[in-house]
Amino acid sequence: MNAAEMITDKYRALAGRLDEATLRLWAAVEARTLGHGGVSVVAKAIGMSRTTIYAGLKELKSPACAVTAADNTRRIRARGWTPEVDE
């Protein structure tokens, strides 16, 4: 089994269990592990955009995402706009 086939198998096992952010980070780790040309191999193996994998690689270099104090969870997307309500 070659690297692309192994990555495809891993992706099938994880795709339904990970949110989009952690899936992007996993793909970036796989690409980084493969070294030169890894992004292209992973992108082709799982059908993810190379741009998305490069974004994941950039995220891996930055500090970990902060956990919100109120609910002890990590936000996946930016908080949406909420209209002000007069009380």
pTM for this prediction: 0.73
* Counted domains in the chain: 1
Residue 73 lies in a domain: no
Tally Cβ neighbours within 10 Å of residue 78.
6
Residue 31 lies in a domain: yes
Q: Which two tokens mark 68? A: 């919100």
Q: Which two tokens mark 52? A: 């998305």
Question: Distances from the Cα of 27 to the Cαs of 10, 68, 76, 80, in angstroms?
Answer: 10, 25, 17, 27
Residue 49 lies in a domain: yes
Q: Decide if 41 contacts 8 (C-beta within 8 A).
A: no
Residue 57 lies in a domain: yes
Tell me the range of 53-57, 70-74, 80-84 where mean pLDDT is highest. 53-57
Amino acid at 49: S
Would you state the pLDDT for residue 65? 57
